[in-house]
């Protein structure tokens, strides 16, 4: 019986583990009841899919990444850099079914396995997969996006090119006049992090926020191409309540982290 059939039939009470290697990565998928987990060779958890509700983000760092939606009108054109196990693809397709999404990933073998094992949505008129190096894709892309989500890693760190000012300026140029970018980052060097923060504020005219994710090594960064209307905390709390109910995300926790980590007047707040 195939791995997929075992998942569907749920005939084993023990977790099912499927290990595989692609040209770019060594990974494993663990299935326990209705939960699928994608792990790196180091056992780092990359993605979680709830088979009964695949659109629900199960990892806190991705919930914080989605916090950028508190600051945006509903996006119509979305670029996702890094597909992984497909958590963000599921989330975006469910909540923004008419948005045109381009998902870029270097690993064609991984995408095929994710389609087979992790229920990664198939390509459609609203969802396009591009097999390419994200850096090269950005260098040649001419399309504009309302939302860019950056969720790519080299091993256990964000790639060096992503932290360079030129890369930030390139992302800025690909945003629509109402667009924003959100980064999911892993940076273990204080110097590199401070350099990234300064570069992001320079590239985006200080329309930025940076917040840590409690319990994770990840740091989330938001950057807007435009200056949003001035809002007070009451407005954002109302927005968090409305979106939180729809997205099943605790946006109040995201807001709390934003206000704790960013002095009022220093960026978007």
Give the domain CATH number at 142: 3.40.50.150
* 9 part of a folded domain: no
pLDDT of residue 265: 66
Q: Distance between CA atoms of 70 and 34, rounded to whole angstroms?
A: 30
Contacting residues for 166 by C-beta, under 8 A, at least 6 apart: none
* 247 part of a folded domain: yes
Q: Which domain holds residue 69?
A: 55-261
Residues linked to residue 103 through DSSP beta bridges, in sequence order: 80, 129
Q: What is the pLDDT of residues 151-203, one digit of tens each?
A: 998 878 999 999 999 999 999 999 999 999 999 999 989 999 999 999 999 99
* 269 part of a folded domain: no
For 113-151, b/e burial (b = at least 16 CB within 10 A) is bbeebbbbbeeeeebebbeeebbebbeebeeebbbbbbb
Regions of the chain short of the pLDDT cut 50: 1, 11-12
* 22 part of a folded domain: no
* 46 part of a folded domain: no
pLDDT of residue 11: 46
* 91 part of a folded domain: yes
Number of folded domains that form the chain: 1
* 36 part of a folded domain: no
pLDDT of residue 165: 97
pLDDT of residue 155: 76
């Amino acid at each position: 019986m195939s791995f997929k059939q075992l998942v569907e039939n749920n005939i084993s009470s023990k977790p099912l583990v499927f290990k595989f290697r692609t040209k770019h990565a060594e990974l494993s998928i663990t299935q326990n009841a209705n939960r699928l987990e994608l792990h790196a060779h180091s056992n780092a958890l990359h993605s979680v899919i709830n088979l009964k509700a695949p659109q629900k983000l199960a990892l806190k760092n991705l919930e914080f990444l989605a916090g950028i939606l508190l600051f945006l009108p509903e996006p119509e054109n979305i670029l996702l850099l890094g597909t992984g196990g497909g958590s963000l693809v599921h989330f975006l397709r469910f909540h923004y079914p008419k948005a045109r999404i381009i998902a870029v990933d270097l690993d064609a073998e991984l995408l095929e396995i994710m389609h087979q094992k992790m229920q990664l949505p198939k390509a459609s008129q609203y969802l396009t997969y591009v097999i390419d190096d994200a850096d090269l894709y950005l260098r040649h892309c001419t399309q504009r996006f309302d939302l860019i989500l950056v969720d790519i890693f080299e091993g256990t760190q964000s790639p060096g090119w992503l932290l360079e000012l030129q890369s930030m300026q390139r992302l800025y140029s690909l945003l629509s006049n109402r667009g924003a970018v959100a980064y999911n980052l892993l940076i273990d060097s204080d110097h590199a992090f401070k350099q990234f923060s300064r570069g992001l504020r320079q590239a985006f005219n200080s329309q930025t926020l940076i917040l840590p994710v409690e319990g994770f090594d990840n740091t989330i960064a938001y950057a807007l191409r435009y200056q949003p209307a001035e809002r007070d905390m009451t407005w954002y709390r109302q927005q968090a309540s409305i979106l939180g109910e729809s997205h099943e995300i605790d946006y109040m926790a995201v807001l709390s982290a934003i206000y704790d980590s960013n002095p009022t007047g220093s960026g978007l707040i």
